[in-house]
Structure 1
Amino acid sequence: MTNDRLKIGISACFFHPDGERKAAPSKTLLWIEQSTAHWVMSEGALPVMVPSFDGETFRGEVSVQDYAGWLDGLVMHGGADVWPGSYGEQPLRPEWHGDRIRDEYEIALVQAFSAAGKPVFGICRGMQLINVAHGGTLYQDIRTQKPGALVHRDAEIYDLNFHQVDILGDTRLAELLQAGRHKINSVHHQGVKDVAPGFVVEAVSPEDGVIEAIRHSGGPWVAAVQWHPEFHRPELGVIDDTPLLRDFLAAARTARNRP
């Protein structure tokens, strides 16, 4: 029945006005990727884009806590770079300035959903933001700051850029997807540097040690992967992420049924 379907929030991507338009109001667009919504829907859940709670057009009393109370879980998906100021650094290059406004919005989401006892799952930027929200840091650019690293983002082939990942034993991810070496896609130039307190590493790139999955080791259910499970198709020979999605949705169901 529709009323029994889980309602899963998806954090919005932002398209900001260019600053040249003088007429008010300036138009900011919020959007989600179709593939992420369809990934959530593939197991029967209802995706809901969570709007921002700030900006010159915001009115009323609806809050992030209202959404955290109403929805059953949260997916943080990919998009713009994280602003280095969110983890206490200055941009090394102008093009790596990221999106401070989106960072503030998503950090508030992570905090509100965790406080409400709802699970949070991160994809790509979502993993980086989760790490930063809990006190970790990032490589602003893997190729620049980690010499000898693989090409983790190839703009020409985008989601068809693949490499191997080692899922570490004695982790929840290993229980779900099996420990050992697997094939994943890779669409990122930033990555986790210092892991946030309270988090464990669940997967790494075997060739350069780049962190590919993290999980909160206690308290709120928070987990994330650096690859894009919503792009994975069996015919490409990549790992089947379905157990990962089902585990997240099971945690959302548990949170819904909790007294």
Structure 2
Amino acid sequence: MPATRRLKIGLSACFQHADPDRSLFTGKTLQYVEQSIAHWIMSAGAMVVMVPCPTGETARGDVTLAHYADWLDGVVLHGGADIWPGSYGEEPLRAEWLGDRVRDLYDLAVVEAFEQVGKPIFGVCRGLQLINVAFGGTLYQDIETQHPGALRHRDAATYDQNFHAVELVPGTRLASLYPSQRLARVNSIHHQAIKSLAPGFQIEAWSRPDGVPEAIRRSPARGRGYIAATQWHPEFHRHGLDTLDDSAILQDFLAACALAKARPQPGNSPLRIRDRATRLLRQALLMDRSD
């Protein structure tokens, strides 16, 4: 298939902030993507474009995230650093849970840009948490500390070989993609999770037996574009493993992108996500200074 007929999918950037002790690119900010998720999207024939943050100390020119949202057919927000608790109005309970304030503002601005033009958005791991925060939800800063009886959702030693069961919620879109499965096995690489669900969203899967939300989707309604996310990493599934097959999830997202491309819908972002995030950032910084 020629490039002109392929879907163009944006992939949010991960950040490594300037580090004077780094031997390569000393003192420079790096933006990058993890190859597994790029290859996952490409496996269905779509072209992947990293969406770089257009702001920063070296910024030049007039390209904005709105330009990328207008040009691309959808966007995927992928994993990485914790969400900074200030992004949802809380103070960090521990110093190691500070997260990445800069990336939060960038990712929230990406959601804002694609939401304004009605383009589909899919989130993975941190991406799910970011989407929940963007639309007014909150997070557990640490599952083991704040959710009594929880499974171990992240294990540094086993990493992507840490697994648990999820239960698909009957009647949801995700359940319809797997009509013969009620329970499935997924990888688990996170210590933060949804505490309060964003208004207008529904939970599509829970971890079992501890009941941590593992997949969400925006409830369909007139004027609302496609937004869905999983807490696990579907891109880490490999043939031969007994984890949930990722292909149906990817095809569902790409089908939404194709539909939005063929029949563009007016965008809608009444929450002004970026403005609200900036306001929370300022409030949290003021709290820091008052300590």
Task: Verify the 8 A CA contact 1:119 1:251 in the aligned structure 2.
Answer: yes
Taking the aligned partners of 1:20 and 1:236, their CA distance within structure 2 comes to: 39
Residue equivalent to 1:206: 208
Q: In terms of mean alpha carbon deviation, does 206-215 or 178-187 score higher?
A: 178-187
Is 1:242 aligned to 2:243, yes or no? no
Cα distance between partner residues in 2 of 1:39 and 1:20: 33
CA distance in 2, matches of 1:18, 1:131: 30
Q: Distance in 2 between matches of 1:26 and 1:58?
A: 16
**1:193 is aligned with what amino acid?**
K
SS at match of 1:111: helix
Structure 2 SS opposite 1:122? strand
CA contact (8 A) 2:164 2:208 kept: no
Q: Partner of 2:184 in structure 1?
A: 182
Unaligned residue ranges in structure 1 (runs of 5+): none
Match of 2:147 in 1: 146
The letter for the 1-side match of 2:88 is Y
Per-residue CA deviations over 1:17-41 (Å, capped at 9, x if unaligned) read 13679xxx94100010000000000
Task: Point out 4+ residue stretches in structure 1 off by more than 3 angstroms.
Answer: 18-21
Structure 1 position 232, deviation (Å): 0.6
Q: Which amino acid aligns with 1:54?
A: T
- Are the equivalent residues in 1 in contact too, given 2:10–2:51 (CA < 8 A)? yes
**CA separation in 1, counterparts of 2:178 and 2:101?**
34
Identity %: 61
Partner of 1:223: 228
**Which residue is 1:56 aligned to?**
57
After TM superposition, the structure 1 = structure 2 runs for residues 119-130 of structure 1, keeping only pairs within 5 Å, are 119-130=120-131
Answer yes or no: is the 8 Å Cα contact 1:114–1:221 preserved in 2: no
Residue identity in the other structure for 1:42:
S
Q: Secondary structure at the match of 1:182?
A: strand
Matched pairs, number = 256
Q: 1:236, 1:40 → 2: CA distance?
A: 19
Residue 254 of structure 2 is aligned to residue 252 of structure 1: no
Provide the rounded CA distance (Å) in 2 between the counterparts of 1:18 and 1:139: 29
Following the alignment from structure 1 to structure 2, what is the Cα–Cα distance between the partners of residues 111 and 63? 12
Measured on the aligned residues, the alpha-carbon RMSD in Å equals 1.4
Q: Deviation of residue 236 (structure 1)?
A: 1.5
Question: 1:206: Cα distance to partner?
Answer: 1.9
Q: Please name the residue that 1:113 is paired with.
A: 114
> What is the match of residue 19 of structure 2?
18
Q: CA deviation at 1:177?
A: 2.2
